[in-house]
């Protein structure tokens, strides 16, 4: 039997084999953890693989994730806040906050952070989280 050599480059399998780029999934996961900490777990956030990729063409490879907030005290109330879609190279990344809004494109990690900050600071986002906090407080056991 012939010996078949390993043809893969040595760098395959090493996560940090290239230049360090903070990817959208890392940023989203960090924001989900920070929301849980800020609200002491009253409002939670989850990053969930999206089943549909709204802007990808059939021949494009992309990843899509929903950023979902929930309130465990409110019988697990859940709402998708936005969807992020990005290619294997991470950028440009698209943020889509609703069906009736236009997607916002971020060219790199800094731009993504800026656009995500705007989305998380938006009055509708703050209002929803404040509402969930108030309702959860009412239902909190004595």
| Domain spans of the chain, in order of start | 24-137
The whole model's pTM is what? Answer: 0.82
| Inter-residue contact 46 to 70 (CB < 8 Å) | yes
pLDDT, one tens digit for every residue, the chain (142 residues): 889 888 788 877 766 655 677 899 999 999 999 999 999 999 999 999 997 555 555 456 789 999 999 999 999 899 999 999 999 999 999 999 876 678 899 999 999 999 999 999 999 999 999 999 999 988 776 5
Name every residue whose Cβ is closer than 8 Å to that of residue 44 and which is 6 or more positions away in sequence: 32, 35, 36, 69, 70, 71, 72
């Amino acid at each position: 039997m012939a010996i078949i050599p390993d043809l893969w480059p040595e760098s395959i399998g090493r996560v940090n084999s290239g230049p360090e780029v903070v990817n959208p999934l890392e940023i989203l996961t960090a924001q989900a953890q920070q929301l849980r900490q800020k609200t002491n777990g009253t409002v939670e956030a989850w990053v969930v693989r999206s089943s549909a990729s709204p802007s990808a063409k059939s021949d494009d490879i992309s990843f899509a994730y929903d950023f979902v907030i929930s309130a465990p005290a409110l019988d697990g109330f859940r709402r998708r806040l936005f969807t992020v879609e990005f290619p294997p190279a991470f950028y440009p990344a698209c943020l889509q906050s609703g069906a009736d809004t236009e997607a916002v494109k971020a060219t790199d990690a800094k731009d993504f952070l800026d656009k995500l900050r705007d989305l998380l600071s938006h009055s509708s986002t703050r209002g929803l989280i404040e509402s969930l906090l108030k309702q959860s407080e009412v239902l909190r056991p004595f």
